[in-house]
Amino acid sequence: MSASRVVVVGGGVIGCMTAFYLTRAGVRDVVVVERDHVASGASGFSAGILTPYSGSNDAGLLGLSAASLALHAELAKELPEVTGIDHGYDLKPYLRCGFGEVGLDSARQFLADRRAEGLDGEWLSGEEAREVCDWLSAEVAGACMTSVEPTVDSRLLTRSALGAAEMVGTSVQVGEVVGLAGSGGTVTGVELSDGGVVEGDAVVIAMGPWSNMAGEWLGFDLPVHPQKGELLYMHLPESDAGGVEQDRPSATMHNMDEGGVILTRRLSRTVLGATKEDGVGYDREPSSYAWEFILPKVQRLADRISKADVTDHTACLRPMPADGKPYVGKAPSWENVFVAAGHWSEGVHYAPLTGKIVADLVTSGESDVDYSAIDVARLAV
C-alpha cells in the first residue's frame, strides 16, 4: 500500500524514528500524536547503551541488532548535520568485571558467547582492567572488555530524529488517542479523548508500555507491560572546579557478580543503574529502593562512588513484551495499522531499524529486512 498521510501514535524514540524513516521513504505528511511531550516516557530517561549483545541466542534478533547498530553509526553523522543537535554518540570501552567466582565465570561466559557469535572481546586481569579505567577498585579480579557498544543521549536522539522529520513535513499534535476511526479492518485515522479525529491513510502504534491499550482497539491481545527502571546521576564534589569532564570515567563498568553499572556518557553526568521492577504498574515516582539497590553494587566497582553526590534521579517504564521480543509489523487482520511496540530494555538501540521496517511496510507493503523474529504477526489467533 502507499499512504500519503500517516498518523504515528506516541512521541517516544520508536515513534519519532518511525516518522524520520517515513519521511525518508517519501511520505510528506506524518502526524505524531503525543499526549504528553516528545520523549516524556522511557525514551527521555534511558541509559542510552547501544549494544549488539542482545543477551538472546535468537539468531534472528542478533542479525537485527547488528543492523540497527549500523544504522546508528550512520545517524551519528547524518542527524547532527541536518538538525544541529548533537545526540552524544560516543564509543568507550565497556568492562564487565568479576570479583569472585560467580562474576568471573559470568564475564568469561559472556566473552565466549560473543566470540561464538563472531563478535569481539578481550579478557583482562584486574590490573589490566584498572589500566583501562582507574576508577576500578582493587577488588576487581578480571574483566571482559569490549569496544563496540556506543552510548547516546536518547532524549536528544529522539528530538533530533523528530527535528529531521519536521523539516520535511512531519508535525506533532498534542492529544490522547482513545481509539481507531474506520471499520472493517481499515482505519481512516485515530480518535482523540477530546472527541476530535486525526485523519490518516495509515496508523502506527508506538505507545511504549501503554501499547497494550491499543490491543483493545485492534481486537487482539498486544501483550506489552510496564517494567519500572530507575537511574541515578552522580557528581564528584572534589572535581567541581574541573567541571563535568573529571567526573567521567574512561570506560563503562558493570558488576557481573551482583549487577549494577557505572555508565560513562559524553553529554551527561555519569549514570549509575539500573533497577528492573515488574508488577508495579504505571508508577513513575523515583523511589528510595533505587538508592538501596544500585549504590552498594556500584560502590564495589569503584570506591570513589561513596564520595559522590547523587544529583539527579529518574524513573520510567520499559515496554516489556510477553515473549521477550518486540512486536513490529502490520497488525494482524488490519489493512493499514502497523505496530512498533515492546522494545523492552533495547528500544533506543532498535529504534532506527524498527523505524525503517515500519516505513518500508507502510510505503511498499514489504521490507528488505528479514524481521520475522519480531513480526507482530505471531500474535495472530
The contact pattern for ligand FAD, residues 155-194, with x = CB under 6 A and - = no contact, is ---------------------xx-----------------
For residues 35 and 194, is the Cβ–Cβ distance under 8 A?
no
| Residue 327 burial (10 A CB sphere; 0-12, 13-18, 19+) | buried
Measured CA to CA, the distance from residue 341 to residue 91 in angstroms comes to 27
Stretch that binds ligand FAD, among 45-53, 125-133, 159-167, 372-380 (CB under 6 A): 45-53
Which residues, other chains included, contact 215 with Cβ-Cβ below 8 Å and sequence gap of 6+? 221, 222, 223
**Options 27, 31, 165, 207; binder of ligand FAD; rule CB under 6 A:** 207
For residue 331, give the DSSP letter.
Answer: P
Placement of cell 528488505 in the chain: 368
Sign of CA dihedral 64, 65, 70, 74: positive
Residue 33 interacts with ligand FAD (CB under 6 A): yes or no: yes
Interface with ligand FAD (CB under 6 A), residue total 40
Q: Which residues of 94-103 are buried (b: 16+ CB within 10 A; e: fewer)?
A: bbbbbbeeeb
By CB under 6 A, tell whether 326 contacts ligand FAD.
no
305: its cell numbers: 562512588
Report the nearest approach of ligand FAD to the CB of residue 329 (Å). Answer: 15
Shortest gap between Cβ of 216 and ligand FAD (angstroms)? Answer: 11
Of the pair 66, 239, the CB lying nearest ligand FAD is at: 66
CB of 228 to ligand FAD, least distance (A): 7
Chain positions 340 to 359 lying near ligand FAD, rule: CB under 6 A, are 343-349
With CB under 6 A as the contact rule, the residue among 20, 21, 89, 210 that binds ligand FAD is 210
Q: What's the one-letter identity of residue 117?
A: E
3-state class of 346 per DSSP? Answer: helix
Binding residue for ligand FAD, selected from 8, 21, 31, 34, defined by CB under 6 A: 34
Residues that bind ligand FAD (CB under 6 A): 9-15, 33-36, 40-43, 46-49, 176-177, 206-210, 229, 231, 273-274, 316, 318-319, 343-349
